[in-house]
Structure 1
Amino acid sequence: MSYLEKINVFLNKILMILGSVAVLLLMSLATVNAFLRIPFIKATWRGAYETVGFLGAIVIAFALGYTQKRKDHIVVDILTEKFPKRVNRILDGINYFITTIFFAIVSWQVFVWGMKISKSGEVSETLKIVFHPIIYCVALGFAVFSLTLIIDFLKNFKGKEN
C-alpha cells in the first residue's frame, strides 16, 4: 500500500468514526424530540430541526470517501457491462478524472463559502450559533472524497483492479 493510500485510509477511518458519532447524536436527538411531543409533556427542543440538519450534513460528507473506497456508491452500468475490459478501464479513468476535478472544486468552493460565513459572523436562524465549522467539515469530507477518487484514478491508470 502506498503512502498516499495509507493517508487516505487513516483519514477515511477518522471521518467514519466522527460520522458514526454524528449519526448516534442525530438519532438520539430525533428520538428524544419525538418523545417530548407526547401530549402530556409538549416540551420539544426548538433547535432540533436545525441541529439534525447540521448533523446530517456532517454524516453525509464524512461518509463519501469511505463509501467510494468500498465501491458502495450506486453504479448504473447497463451499457458499459457489455463493453470489453479495456474500454471499461478507459471509461472508468475518464470518470475518475472528471469526478476528481469536480469534487475538488466543490470542496474548495464549500471552504470559500465557509470563510465568507465566518468573516460575516453569520449565525444559525434558530439556535443563533456560528455554523461555519460545520461548513468546513463538509469541505473536509469532499476533500477526502477527492483524495479517494485520485487514488482510484491512479490505480485505474496503472491497470490495478479497484
Structure 2
Amino acid sequence: MKIIGVDPGTIRCGYGIIETDGDCCSVLSCGVIRPGNSGIKMSIRLKRVYDRLEALIDHYRPIHMALEKAFFYKNAKTSFALGQLRGVVLLLAENMGLSIYEYNPTEVKLSVTGFGRASKLQVKRMVKVITNIEDDLSEDKADALALCICHMNSPNLLYKR
C-alpha cells in the first residue's frame, strides 16, 4: 500500500511517499515544493502546489493521504494562507480518490519517536532510522515522511489490514 504525507506550507510544502506492507516501509519519493515567495500571488502558489502534488499522485498512485491537522498561528494572515493551501490539498486528494487522514503534531511525534513533545531533530533522526533513508532530510521532508509513518502505524490503518 502506498501513502503520501503532506506537510503543508505556502513557501515550502513537504511531501513524502512510502510503500508499506504493514511491517516495514520504503521511501518512493520525498521532496519540497517551493511555489514561490510571498511576493507571488497566492492563487499562483496554490496552483503550483496543486499541480505538483497531482503529478506525484498520478505517478506513484498512493491510496491514502496523511495530512497535518490545522492549528492556529498567532498571525491571522499565516493561518488564513495555510487554510487556503490545506483546502487545495484536501480538494486534490478528494478529486483523485484518496482516503484522507489527518493527524495533529503530537500524534505524529508520539508515533514516530514514542514521545509526543519530541523536537524536530528527534523526529528527523527517527524518520531516518525507520525509513533507512540516506538523504540529508530537511524538516519539511522529515515531517511529511513522519506523517506517512504515523499513518502506517495508526489504528485507522491497522484495523483495515
Q: Which structure dedicates a bigger proportion of its chain to helix?
A: 1
Larger Rg: 1
**TM-score class normalised by the smaller sequence:** under 0.3
TM (norm. structure 2) is: 0.22
